[in-house]
A and B are shown apart, each in its own frame.
Chain A
Amino acid sequence: MVGAGFAGSLIAKVLGDNGFRVLVLEAGAGHDPGEAVERYRTAPARTPLVPFRRTAAAPSSDYVVDTGPHSVASQYLRMNGGTGTAWAGLTPRMLPDDFRTADFGHGRSWPLSYDDLEPHYRAAEWEIGVAADADEQRQHLPVADGYRYPMHALPRTFLDEAIASAVDGQRVDGRELLVVGTPQARNGVPVDGYRPDGRLCAGFASCVPVCPEGAKYTPHRTQKRWPATVELRTRCVVNRLHADESGRVTKVGYQRYEDDTTGAHTRHEVEADVVVLAAHAVENAKLLLLSGLANSSDQVGRNLMGHPVLLTWALMPHPVGPFRGPGSTTGIEAFRTGPERAARAPFRVEIGNWGWGWSAGSPESDTAELVAAGLRGTALRRAVAERVSRQFTLQIEVEHEADPANRVTLAAERDALGNPRPSVHYELSEYAKDGMLAAKRVSDRIFELLGAEDHTAYKPDDERYFEHDGEPLRYWGAGHSGGTHVMGTSPRDSVVDQWQRCWDHPNLYAVGCGSMPSLGTSNPSLTMAALALRTAGHLVTRWR
């Protein structure tokens, strides 16, 4: 197993539970939760990767060489637990239409349907512990009859209720608005028969990147349940897979380092009957390209997708108590699919509970602005209160379709271990831009319905600023990378089959979001987990 993140940890557990001996090679260092919390609290900018242990030998996404024209702006973490350590813990499922995106004339369809994956969604929700209400989800999604999520839906925030009371039932852009609870892998009140791992969510309001309470699922929870037949080795960077003439992968080469500050390392090789790459979409592609494997279709590294996020921010007419509870507890699902999808990308509106923290750097930015305006003393205190206590942000994830031209390749530049760094070419499509523009118009209407004071501003010198149809726009990254070892029905035009097995190599699997032919508009980790469990079942049957 190459990588001890979300997919790798889940698959290793199933294999271990079924009597397999599993060696997990993790490129990054181990995770120290206490140290991460301390680093978070003393970071001048509380960005998603800032609290975590980083090493010179296995750099995280900041070593990716961006060749433009746009930045995919999708961060990932190379550390035990992977990006699933820093994730938000939001676990919406994909919609049935998301599996057949090519039918809308954009991107690629899956070789699987929603119905094929549905039982695995349920298994994943129980494995990682998801809090949601099945009846509420059935309003926009087919959920199996009689199914219960392992935990009841988390309480909504005061902000959620304020927004729902103003927008539910209103029509915008031909759709009826409804604020819906977002499923989350965060501990709530369990249903009979489920025992949560860890404590109840206590509302630390720092889920991205660290939950001091341990109430958010991370892959370390699964690792704690690994049987003794699963062995983890951290600080082991796999840099080459070797295959024999028949295509069977025989050996895995890796570089082991001790010192986190240099590239000093020793070289090792290990043999395995089955090799699973679970190192992240970009890293899996890098490793396949480095090894010259799995690429008879010429699709390795291609179809790179992220979620461009449009942030819009405003002040409610009254205090809503931002920066309390999980980052997002509800969303508006009405724009996630429909016939418009033929013309523009669909989107999902996430209601952001943490003020303008993400969009504008609040409250530090507000303080700086008000101080610069000359406010002091009581007037300053009152102005900060007035400004911060009414803040909210809409975080709108827009679909980006698979395009073979958006791709990961190997850069000429090398990392500290002497391996080529990944290089990314990424261009926002007209389809995604049209979706962002439609999303902006929907946001404008929602702000009107709320009587909110719009403070959204996109300026030409902002990062990731662009204009579309004459309108200023800006996108942010979501940390959702996929598509780079795309799954399909034929070895001619895809890298892995529906079991995430490389078409070209009978004993090589590439798992994770890299297998997804479309990301839809949902945070992809739950779908990755469902796919991982499905693949784990296949591995057990096939290789026992």
Chain B
Amino acid sequence: MDAFVELSAELTGFSAEELRSTGLVEPYRALAEGASEAEIIQLWYTGVWRGTVPSARAYAEGLAWKAAGVAAPGTRGPGFGSWERRPRGSSR
């Protein structure tokens, strides 16, 4: 079992699989050594690490956007008129 992934899943409410699919486990593991819970959550949710964004992917994969069911602005074009659609009713 991977302790960092396990801790991240517990803190963020996203499964180990969901976290791994971001491709960010390894860079975040390196960054988050000795970090507080709040810092680890902020990193996963917003892609911000101590005032900077380590990579474009960190921003694009921010879990706050995923929780809300939308793409991080400027990362994906869901298509012309996609904004008309009824959003999903709840998070889970």
Where the two chains meet, the residues of A that have a C-beta atom closer than 8 Å to any C-beta of B are: 37-38, 40-44, 46, 155-158, 161, 188, 200-206, 210, 212-213, 318-326, 329, 353-354, 357, 363-364, 366-368, 371-372, 376-382, 384-386, 388-389
B13 touches A381 (CB 8 A): yes
CB-based nearest B residue for A363: B64
Q: What is the minimal beta-carbon distance from B32 to any residue of chain A, in angstroms?
A: 15
* Beta-carbon contact of A156 and B74 below 8 Å: no
Instruction: Tell whether, in the assembled complex, residue B74 and residue A321 are in contact, meaning their CB atoms are under 8 Å apart.
Output: no
A381 CB contact (under 8 Å) in B12, B52, B73, B75? B12
B interface residues, how many (CB within 8 angstroms): 51
Closest to B13 in A: A381
13 A-B residue pairings within 8 Å (CB atoms): A41-B75, A158-B86, A158-B87, A201-B80, A205-B71, A320-B87, A321-B86, A371-B38, A372-B38, A376-B13, A380-B41, A384-B45, A389-B90
Contact indicator A41/B69 (Cβ below 8 Å): no
Pairwise interchain contact A322-B70, C-beta atoms closer than 8 A: yes
Known: A323-B65, A385-B69. A155 touches B13 (CB 8 A): no
* B74 in contact with A389 (CB, 8 Å): no
B24-56 interface (Cβ within 8 A of A): 37-38, 41-42, 45-46, 48, 51-56
Chain B nearest CB, measured from A256 CB (Å):
33
Cα A381 to Cα B53 in complex, Å, equals: 21
Decide: B84 and A155 in contact? CB cutoff 8 A: yes
Give Cα distance in the complex from A389 to B67, angstroms: 9
The distance in angstroms between the C-alpha atoms of A200 and B78, with both chains bound, is 12
With both chains docked as a complex, state the minimum distance between the C-beta of A313 and any C-beta of chain B, in angstroms.
15
Do the beta carbons of B53 and A321 come within 8 Å of each other? no
Candidates B41, B59, B68, B78; contact of A389 at CB < 8 Å: B68
Q: Separation in Å of the B10 CB from the closest CB of chain A?
A: 6
**Does more than half of chain B's interface fall in helix, strand or loop, or is it mixed?**
loop
Determine the chain A residues whose CB is within 8 A of the CB of B72 once the complex forms.
41
Q: A205-B73, A371-B41 are in contact. Are A384 and B67 (CB under 8 A)?
A: yes
Q: Which residues of A contact B48 (CB under 8 A)?
A: 44, 364
How many A-B residue contacts, CB cutoff 8 Å?
170
Can you add 19 more A-B contacts, CB < 8 Å, to A38-B56, A155-B83, A368-B42?
A41-B75, A44-B48, A157-B83, A202-B78, A203-B77, A203-B81, A204-B73, A204-B75, A318-B89, A319-B87, A319-B90, A353-B83, A379-B13, A380-B41, A381-B67, A384-B68, A389-B69, A389-B90, A389-B91
Query: Bound complex: CA of A382 vs CA of B90, how far in Å?
Result: 8
A371-B42 in contact given A42-B59, A203-B77, A325-B83 (Cβ < 8 Å)? yes
For B46, the chain A residues whose CB sits under 8 A away are 363-364, 367
Inter-subunit contact B74/A202 (CB<8 Å): no
A326 to B80, CA, bound (A): 10
Flag if B59 contacts A367 (CB, 8 Å). no
A162 (CB) vs chain B CBs: closest residue: B86
Inter-chain contact B82/A158, CB cutoff 8 Å? no
The residue among B11, B59, B64, B69 with the most chain A CB atoms within 10 A of its own CB is B64
On chain B, the residues within 8 Å of A210 by CB distance are 74
The answer to whether B37 and A388 have CB atoms under 8 Å apart is no
- A376/B37 contact (C-beta < 8 A), A42-B59, A206-B73, A321-B69 known: yes
Q: Are B55 and A40 in contact (CB under 8 A)?
A: no
Q: Given known contacts A205-B74, A384-B67, is B41 in contact with A378 (CB within 8 Å)?
A: no
Given contacts A366-B64, A381-B67, are A40 and B74 in contact (CB under 8 A)?
yes
Residues of A contacting B45 with CB < 8 Å? Answer: 363-364, 367, 371, 384
Provided the pairs A201-B80, A367-B42, A376-B37 are in contact, do residues A323 and B64 lie with their beta carbons within 8 angstroms? no
Inside 8 A of B90's CB, which chain A residues have their CB? 319, 385-386, 389
Check if A321 sits within 8 Å of B56, measured CB to CB. no
- Residues of A contacting B11 with CB < 8 Å? 376-377, 380
Q: With the chains together, A372 CA to B77 CA distance in Å?
A: 33
| 7 A-B pairs closest in CB distance | A202-B77, A325-B83, A385-B91, A321-B87, A381-B13, A206-B74, A388-B68
Provide the residues of chain B in CB contact with A318, threshold 8 Å: 89
Residues of B within 8 A of A321 (CB): 69-70, 83, 85-87
Closest CB in chain A relative to B83 CB, distance in Å: 3
> In whole angstroms, what is the CA distance A367 to B56 when docked?
19
A202 to chain B: closest residue by CB: B77
Contact B80 A200 (CB under 8 A): yes
Can you name the residue of chain A whose Cβ is closest to the Cβ of B79?
A202
**Cβ contacts under 8 Å, B16 to chain A:** none
Separation of A371 and B39 alpha carbons in the complex (Å): 10
* Nearest CB on A from B54, distance (A): 8
With beta carbons under 8 angstroms apart, the residue of A46, A353, A381 that contacts B91 is A381
